[in-house]
Amino acid sequence: MSDANLNVYRIRGHRPLRGGIRAQAAKNAVTKQLVASLLTAEPCRLRDVPDITEIDVVLDMLTEIGATYDRRDDGSVDLATPRIASTAISERYSGVNRIPILLIAPLLHRAGMARVPVVGGCNIGERPIDFHVDLLRKMGAEIDEDDDGYTARADRLRGTVLALPYPSVGATENAIFAACLAEGTTVINNAAVEPEIVDTVLFLQKMGALIQIDTDRKIVIEGVEELHGAHHDPVRDRIEVASFAMASVATEGRLRIEGADQAAMITFLNILRKIGGGFEVDAGGITFFRAREALKPIHIETDVHPGFMTDWQQPMVTLLTQAHGVSVVHETVYEKRFGYTSTLNAMGANITLTNDCLGGKACRFTDRNFPHSAIVQGATALAGRQIEIPDLRAGFAYLLAALIADGETTIFGTRFIERGYVNVPERLASVGADIDVPSRQAAVA
Ligand code: EPZ
């Protein structure tokens, strides 16, 4: 088996997805809850932890710090960090994901110092961490930055009033972790209130934290002396649910997603309905299907919650290549999140990018020369070809393109997909997709 065969999916399009799948727990909640467990020396249990490489990476990082964990047969992870064995995260995690910067506050609380490497993650924009560093400094941490990472020290963090320049998910989580065990009260103005953050707040509340989510995206945290162990069933992954929902609509199938949560997806469901997708909500999930034969175009702007998620944008643009007319998508969260569209164009789509804010409002990227609006002219047939994934969410957009393309598509770089989605080829095949993974066949042979 050659290396070129690793990380490859082969898909033949035009098979409607029919049947049922179960939604996985949200990667972007579980990874943060693994970090939150460091705020206590007592054992914690997270149920139904998805078996994806991103979780493995975070568990490895925590092991370096002194955590031990047990992945149980029922999918839960038991973990505990009775003592901090090391306050430094090694440089092999440099640039890997967004987690190291979130480890500073727990390490300061537990050991008074922290050394973490520079953070990374998908290449979808500059992704600075200035808000994180500023808020930790405002709460009393001394932080030295160098080319390789950050060194932080604090005897005890102190509560303060913070105003985030933008409602950043990671910076809000960082401030919450810093504030839970800080001396006094912390107010986070202009906080992000994504369902994954609220879910982590629920876990922290079970651990003994005092966190109030007020109106106008204000979060108030009264520091407590200590937190204790807790069990938690993390929120389902609304990015995964929307991705499979769009695949169901695109292939004119009918897919029930067990665990899909309507409340977390109101904006998505409205947009899906407006373009001609259908859904039925039952007690345990949502069934998605095509309600109109010809999909309708739409204008969408991505935004922080409760707006249209930036992580729904890529498969939605792929779906909109099948709508009849001109759709406009204005990306206001990341400045560089349309890179994947050139490959869709190579498959037959007609997507034009512009630096202008094509929306009702100007965004942070106005006059900054970022191609952050897309004009999608549909409907266009897509043709299968060899394509390579640039990042996680673009990865599902390409899967979706392959599922509706004529002929066969070979997708390289599928390790990006496996970072965030559980067993995608197996689950897609179980609902009717014609997909195979050549490297796995070779391994079996
Ligand atoms: C989280 O990233 C998610 N990642 C992202 O999902 C998601 O797209 C994003 O939130 C928005 O919902 C994880 O939870 C691991 P941000 P995060 O801080 O926290 C700017 C996926 O595919 N900013 O809310 O890193 C930043 O550049 C990933 O699962 C600063 O300028 O996102 C961006 O433009 C991709 N300075 C905006 O804020 C800072 O210090 C929002 O970023 C921090 C952020």
pLDDT band at 6 (very low <50, low <70, confident <90, very high): low
CATH number for region 27-232: 3.65.10.10
Query: Is residue 361 scored above 80 in pLDDT?
Result: no
pLDDT of residue 137: 98
Instruction: Give the pLDDT confidence of 303-314 residue by residue, as tens digits.
Output: 999 999 999 999
- Atom 25 (ligand 1): residue with closest C-alpha? 170
- Comparing CA positions, the residue from 315, 312, 330 lying closest to residue 371 is 330
Q: Return mean pLDDT, the chain.
A: 95
More confident residue, 163 or 118: 163
* CB neighbour list of residue 438: distance below 8 Å, 6 or more residues apart: 5, 8, 10
172 CA → ligand 1 middle, Å: 10
pLDDT of residue 442: 56
pLDDT of residue 126: 78
Query: How does DSSP assign 120-182, residue by residue?
Result: ---SSS----HHHHHHHHHTT-EEEE-SSEEEEE-SS-B--EEE-SS--HHHHHHHHHHHHTS
pLDDT band at 275 (very low <50, low <70, confident <90, very high): very high
pLDDT of residue 359: 81
170 CA → ligand 1 middle, Å: 6
pLDDT of residue 123: 78
Query: Is residue 82 scored above 70 in pLDDT?
Result: yes
- Atom 38 (ligand 1): residue with closest C-alpha? 168
pLDDT of residue 151: 97
pLDDT band at 444 (very low <50, low <70, confident <90, very high): very low
User: Which residues approach ligand 1 with their CB closer than 6 A?
Assistant: 28, 31, 98, 122, 125-132, 166, 168-171, 192, 310-311, 333-334, 392-393, 420
C-alpha to C-alpha distance for 348 and 327, rounded to whole angstroms: 16
Threshold 0.75, pTM exceeds: yes
pLDDT of residue 3: 44
pLDDT of residue 445: 45
Does domain 9-24+236-444 fall under CATH 3.30.1300.10? My reply is no
436: which strand partners?
Answer: 10
* Residue limits of CATH 3.65.10.10 in the chain: 9-24+236-444, 27-232
Query: Is residue 229 scored above 70 in pLDDT?
Result: yes
Q: Cα dist. 164→54, 100, 130 in Å? A: 27, 20, 10
Sheet holding 77-80, edge to edge: 68-71, 77-80, 44-46, 231-232
Instruction: Give the pLDDT confidence of 179-223 residue by residue, as tens digits.
Output: 999 999 999 999 999 999 999 999 999 999 999 999 999 999 999
Which token pair is 358?
A: 């094509």
33, 98, 130, 168, best to mutate for ligand 1 pocket (most atoms within 8 Å of CB): 168
pLDDT of residue 1: 35
More confident residue, 91 or 377: 377
Of 122, 180, 357, 363, catalytic: 122
Query: Is residue 109 scored above 90 in pLDDT?
Result: yes
Our answer to whether residue 122 is catalytic in this structure is yes
Instruction: Give the pLDDT confidence of 235-274 residue by residue, as tens digits.
Output: 999 999 999 999 999 999 999 999 999 999 999 999 999 9
Query: Which amino acid, residue 174?
Result: N
96 CA → ligand 1 middle, Å: 14
